[in-house]
Amino acid sequence: MALHTLDTLASRLGGPLAGTRVIVRCDLNVPLKDGVITDDGRVRASVPTLQALIDQGARVVVCSHLGRPDGAPDPKYSLAPVAHRLSELLGAPVAFATDTVGASARETVAGLADGEVAVIENLRFNPGETSKDDATREAFARELAELGAALVSDGFGVVHRKQASVYDLARLLPSVAGLLIAAEVDVLDRLTEKPERPYAVVLGGSKVSDKLGVIAHLLPRVDKLLVGGGMMFTFLAAQGHAVGASLLEKDQLDTVRGYLDTARERGIEIILPVDAVVAASFDASADHVVADADALEDTPFGASGLGLDIGPRTAEAFAAAIRSSTTVFWNGPMGVFEMPAFAAGTKAVAQALTEVNGLSVVGGGDSAAAVRQLGFSDDSFGHISTGGGASLEFLEGKKLPGLEVLGWEQ
């Protein structure tokens, strides 16, 4: 079945959206520091769907989680800063309810006029949102359902969770996918089922074990697999290279050797680093040198040296492989990009993605944060995923309950 999308909502309701209260489940789980949003990417990503509903005269009730408050109110996880930022982005007042389904939520929602927006407090302040007990979860969903006549599910980052606002609420109300989810599904489907070739996947981040399912599912589908970040040292060790004190998952060596064998048998090109930036310690000001991948311990730091970024020759090779591809999916930084001395590899990969003549996809929260921190605008890329773990599970071929309930079948 095809995904039920926003343009079918009016027909599913049997009439126009004007005057109708519509609940929108967003993913506004943004990083906060001292109550200030440090990356508003997810808030900005929610705006197109909200604006589309506003333009049709719907009375919009926004709900989301933020952090892990353990089922009880916690001021540091309040969505109040998000409501304020949303108001700035929409250029209109946004009402804020100080609870989820209590008196404040009911009063705030009842006060909405056509085209107005309200945000209710963090869903995870209510234990019913994430309960493993079906009855408890459904009871909370029924209370949420009283706030609106329909649901637009637009938080792709939570569609892999069987949670009250994602799954149970969608079973209780006429429900469709918002523009963000529809776009995510379209892009991820293209990455798994019908990529234009040549197709390159660039994986980084710290651990191979975080990407096992993605590698296994995508490896037979790609033309090139590029491996950087902390996980590259497990690949290098699997080839017999000493990696000093660099991040190494010894229990994954046999698995990685299996990937290398599979790639060789299928004619898939795995591009591994030929050099790395090795540091004396994990510190922004640490002494560091560039070393060949087969000589990582032949530095002044010996076996205590830490690889913290791909080297310049690797960055050049990765960039060339990316630019020569028509479809590119990137998940995971190439190094410790938060430290300027170890950000060059990630920046080179990001720059190359902006030059792809085709579809370039940035996936994963760390990669999205990296491109913004390094000065790239979102529209420099074909698509920046907001899905996090949900995107990875989609790419692993897993069924996602929050999509299935909207009619999607992988």
**Mean pLDDT, rounded, for 211-229:** 92
Tell me if 308 sits within 8 A of 335, measured CB to CB.
Answer: yes
Element (H, E) at 153: strand 150-153
| In contact, 43 and 86? CB cutoff 8 Å | yes
pLDDT digits (tens, 9 = 90+) for 370-403: 998 899 998 999 998 877 788 888 888 889 999 9
Helices (H) and strands (E) in the chain, counts: 15, 17
Average pLDDT, the chain: 94
The pLDDT of residue 388 is 77
The pLDDT of residue 116 is 98
Residue identified by tokens 């560091």 is 288
- Per-residue pLDDT tens over the stretch 173-185: 999 999 999 999 9
122 annotated ligand binder: no
Is the confidence at residue 213, as pLDDT, over 90?
Answer: no
Task: Please indicate whether residue 369 or residue 155 has the higher confidence score (pLDDT).
Answer: 155
* pLDDT grade for 364, boundaries at 50, 70 and 90: confident
- Decide if 365 is catalytic: yes
- Distance, in Å, from the CA atom of 190 to the CA atom of 327, rounded to the nearest integer, reads 9
CA distance 192 to 221: 7
Fold entry, domain 6-184: Rossmann fold (3.40.50)
Listed in sequence order, the DSSP H helices in 209-290 are 212-218, 232-238, 253-266
What pLDDT score does 207 carry? 84
Residue 221: pLDDT band (50, 70, 90) is very high
Q: Is 44 annotated as a binding residue?
A: no
| Distance of alpha carbon 49 from alpha carbon 179, whole angstroms | 5
Same CATH fold assignment for domains 6-184 and 195-396: yes
Mean pLDDT, range 109-114, rounded to an integer: 98
Domain boundaries, the chain: 6-184, 195-396
Per-residue model confidence as pLDDT tens digits over 306-337: 999 999 999 999 999 999 999 999 999 999 99
Q: Above 80 in pLDDT, residue 125?
A: yes
pLDDT bin (cut points 50, 70, 90) of residue 243 is very high
What is the average per-residue pLDDT within 19-29?
97
> What residues contact 57, with CB distance under 8 A and at least 6 apart?
16, 17, 18, 19, 114, 115
From the candidates 128, 365, 388, 402, give the one annotated as an active-site residue. Answer: 365
Phi, psi of 55 (to 5 degrees): -60, -25
Q: What is the mean pLDDT of residues 121-148?
A: 98
Residue 313 marked in a binding site: no
Which is the catalytic residue, given 57, 71, 389, 407? 389
Q: What is the mean predicted confidence (pLDDT) over 260-275? A: 95
Task: For residue 363, name the pLDDT band (cuts at 50, 70, 90).
Answer: confident
Distance CA 53, CA 12 (A): 15
Annotation marks residue 76 as catalytic: no
On whether 68 is known to bind a ligand per the annotation, the reply is yes
* CA angle centred on 220, ends 219 and 221, rounded to 5°: 90
pLDDT at 39 exceeding the cut of 60: yes
Q: Backbone phi, then psi, for 154, in 5-degree steps?
A: -135, 20
42 is catalytic: yes
CB 137 within 8 A of CB 166: no
**What's the CATH superfamily of 195-396?**
Phosphoglycerate kinase, N-terminal domain (3.40.50.1260)
211 among annotated binding-site residues: yes
What is the distance, to the nearest Å, from the Cα of residue 397 to the centroid of all Cα atoms in its chain? 16
Q: Identify any residues that bridge with 271 across adjacent strands, giving them in sequence order.
A: 226
Give the Cα separation of 87 and 79 in Å (integer).
12
pLDDT value of position 410:
65
- Return d(Cα 63, Cα 21) in angstroms, integer: 13
Assess whether pLDDT exceeds 70 at residue 1.
Answer: no
Our answer to whether residue 71 is catalytic in this structure is no
- In this prediction, residue 172 has a pLDDT band, given cuts at 50, 70 and 90, of very high
